Amino acid sequence: MIRVALVAVSFSFLTIACQPALGTLSEEDAAAIRNTVAAYHDAAVAKDWDAISTFFTNNAVAMPPHQPMVQGRLGIKEWYASFPPVTDVELPIVEIDGRGDLAYTRGTYSMTMVMDGAPEPVTLIGKNLAIWRKQSDGSWLIAVEMFNSDLPMPSVGGEGVNPQDP
Q: Which amino acid is at 33?
A: I
Q: Judging by beta carbons within 10 Å of its beta carbon (0-12, 13-18, 19+), is residue 4 exposed, middle or buried?
A: exposed
User: pLDDT tens digits, residue range 37-92?
Assistant: 999 999 988 989 999 999 999 999 999 988 999 999 999 999 999 988 888 999 99
d(C-alpha 165, C-alpha 163), whole Å: 6
Task: Tell me the CATH number for domain 23-149.
Answer: 3.10.450.50
> Secondary structure of the chain: what % helix, strand, coil (to 5)?
30, 35, 35
User: pLDDT tens digits, residue range 7-21?
Assistant: 443 443 333 344 444
Specify whether the CB–CB gap between 83 and 64 falls below 8 A: no
